[in-house]
Structure 1
């Protein structure tokens, strides 16, 4: 942190200390990474189940701020196609670099999955999936993906 402050001051830091703290928090926080694959039979250590669920260091995590189409089982072909796309995109996002996991209001869901927001450089990976049309914001209940 002292190196960051010194660098910030040396390059004309303007007194916006809150911005500096946010930057330092982001740099410090994004320390998690792994090589993720698609989950299959057997051990689940670092793999993606679907567009909003993955295993990290042998812990099952449900992305808390989004909902993606179901894959097991999908209710229609359109849901399956979009669900596979969300799963592939989450795999790519998790493998793209370091990230952070943060806990919200609840630690676990009713299935025992850890509820976490996944961020990189302060931006939610769930928001990326929503922006790309592969997920919806979680509003406390599921909505269908079939028309």
Structure 2
């Protein structure tokens, strides 16, 4: 009976070790990409959500100088322009609630999340990674910070996706 218990414990440990290895493995995606919106890109059919930021939704508008402007579309255009500089490289360690990889992505060494926040077309989201970039964009009144806007998370709450 003792040998059986030892074998069972060894099998359980091996299964747990394999599960930990699988969960800790990061995904690496590379290639040409295009912007889906201001914080999501498509690499060969895989949608990757930029980690650490939140950009206006595609249909979202913001106010500047007393006029509405299509800040969601402007964010997508800015990301698309950055992606045109060359192939993208993304490292994703998690997935979001839609099962998209959450990636830290670069083009030519430029961190795309930082770039979007520096341009004022995205806000720092869930963490401290891009708060300094956001503070600089806010102080310079770039992008969203040149007027008023509804935070993207609040906009999504008021305009939920259809199931």
TM-score normalised by the shorter chain: which range applies?
0.5 to 0.7
C-alpha separation in 2, matches of 1:117 and 1:83: 21
Match of 1:33 in 2: 31
Equivalent residue number for residue 127 of structure 1? 114
* SS of residue paired to 1:93: helix
Q: Is 1:86 equivalent to 2:86 in the alignment?
A: no
Q: 3-state SS of the aligned residue for 1:96?
A: coil
Q: Secondary structure at the match of 1:115?
A: strand
Q: Could you state the TM-score of these two structures normalised by the residue count of structure 1? A: 0.57
2:52 is the alignment partner of 1:65: yes
Q: Which has the larger radius of gyration?
A: 2
- Cα offset for 1:99? 2.5
Q: 1:110 to 1:137 in 2, by over 3 A?
A: same
CA RMSD of aligned residues (A): 2.6
Deviation at 1:80, TM superposition (A): 6.2
Write out per-residue CA displacement over residues 76-130 of structure 1, whole angstroms, 9 at most, x where no aligned residue.
Answer: 55486111111001111111113310123x2x11111111111134431110111
Say yes or no: does 1:145 pair with 2:145.
no
TM-score by length of 2: 0.52
Question: How many aligned residue pairs are there?
Answer: 99
Cα distance between partner residues in 2 of 1:116 and 1:80? 28
For residues 87 and 60 of structure 1, the distance between their equivalents in structure 2, rounded to whole angstroms, comes to 14
Find the aligned partners of 2:69 and 2:102 in 1 and give their Cα distance: 23
1:93/1:77 CA distance change after superposition, 3 Å? same
Matches within 5 A, 1:91-130: 91-104=80-93, 106=94, 108-130=95-117
Residue pair 2:51, 2:104 contacting (<8 A) in 1 also: yes
| Contact residue 69 and residue 80 of structure 1 kept, 8 A | no
More helix by percentage: 2
Unaligned 5+ residue runs, structure 2?
1-28, 128-147, 152-163
